[in-house]
Amino acid sequence: MITAIIGVGNLGRALAGHLVAGDESVVLAARDEAHAVGLANELGPRVEAALVEDAIAAADVVVLALWLDQIKELLADQAHLLENKVVIDPSNPIGFDANGRMIRTLPDDQSAGSIVASLLPASAHYVKAFGTLGADSLAGSANREPRVALFYATDDDTAAYTVERLIRAAGFDPMKAGGLADARRLEGPNGDLSQGGLNGELLDVDQARAAVAAAYVMT
Ligand SMILES: NC(=O)c1ccc[n+]([C@@H]2O[C@H](COP(=O)([O-])OP(=O)(O)OC[C@H]3O[C@@H](n4cnc5c(N)ncnc54)[C@H](OP(=O)(O)O)[C@@H]3O)[C@@H](O)[C@H]2O)c1
């Protein structure tokens, strides 16, 4: 299985490092190909860099490690590349107000997940995952004892199976939070299963299961 990570910024870099450490094959792409080449060179021979189109074509799984607006732009003319692919969406609808305070950029009844999923071809296997922790926390919390849990949300069995494999390979325990309708719970800045909504806490799998079951009260 080959995983393409589109975007090699904070999140893409952290995830690529973990997947490579977990023996997964990874191909990287960015807007500036030199950024993908630079990270691929750092991470060693299991990682290649490619143009976005070529990275997606080579992959079974595609992680959209881009900001929501960048994902929308990419999908506006390249969504067809994602036919039959497992598509992993870590995006959070985050912006900043005039005082520099982090805010949610979408109305309460909308998730970034619902937007991204609606832009994909019907044959794509969508899953929300890998965006619940801050990139620094993600980078620093793999392979702990007990393992830190990472939530995912999907309506698709192929996507669930695949993302569970990748979460384990990355050094975490998977915890399904529900379907696409539950994606909002995973999304920063204040989804109740996002690190922000959990006051920065990292959960093990038992705590994560309890959090999924807990009554959902959006702050
Ligand atoms: N940062 C976090 O702590 C964190 C935590 C959880 C979830 N997330 C989510 O992860 C996503 C990425 O965040 P980030 O902090 O990693 O962003 P970032 O550091 O700004 O990196 C964005 C990456 O996307 C690439 N990119 C932008 N437009 C592109 C396009 N059209 N085609 C190909 N590549 C493109 C950029 O390429 P260049 O390198 O060439 O500029 C860059 O590598 C966001 O949706 C965010 O909500 C972030």
Listing DSSP states for 48-75 in one string gives EE--HHHHHHH-SEEEE-S-HHHHHHHH
In which band, very low, low, confident or very high, does the pLDDT at 219 lie, cut at 50, 70 and 90? very low
Distance 210 CA to ligand 1 centre (A): 31
Q: With 50 as the cut, is the pLDDT of residue 111 above it?
A: yes
Give the predicted TM-score (pTM) of the model: 0.97
Whether the link from the prior residue into 189 is cis, omega within 30° of 0, is yes
In which band, very low, low, confident or very high, does the pLDDT at 15 lie, cut at 50, 70 and 90? very high
Q: What is the pLDDT of residues 44-53, one digit of tens each?
A: 999 999 999 9
Once rounded to an integer, what is the mean pLDDT over residues 188-204? 96
What is the rounded distance in angstroms from the CA atom of residue 13 to the CA atom of residue 39? Answer: 7
Is there an atom of ligand 1 within 6 Å of 52 CB?
yes
In which band, very low, low, confident or very high, does the pLDDT at 207 lie, cut at 50, 70 and 90? very high
Q: What is the pLDDT of residues 39-95, one digit of tens each?
A: 999 999 999 999 999 999 999 999 999 999 999 999 999 999 999 999 999 999 999
Q: List beta partners, residue 178.
A: 153
Q: Which atom of ligand 1 is nearest to the CA of 33?
A: 40
Largest pairwise CA distance in the chain: 46
Distance 68 CA to ligand 1 centre (A): 9
Report the residue among 10, 51, 152, 202 best suited for mutation to probe ligand 1: largest number of ligand atoms under 8 A from its CB: 10
Q: With 90 as the cut, is the pLDDT of residue 217 above it?
A: no
What is the rounded distance in angstroms from the CA atom of residue 189 to the CA atom of residue 69? Answer: 16
Which protein residue's CA is at the shortest distance from atom 18 of ligand 1?
9
Is there an atom of ligand 1 within 6 Å of 207 CB?
no
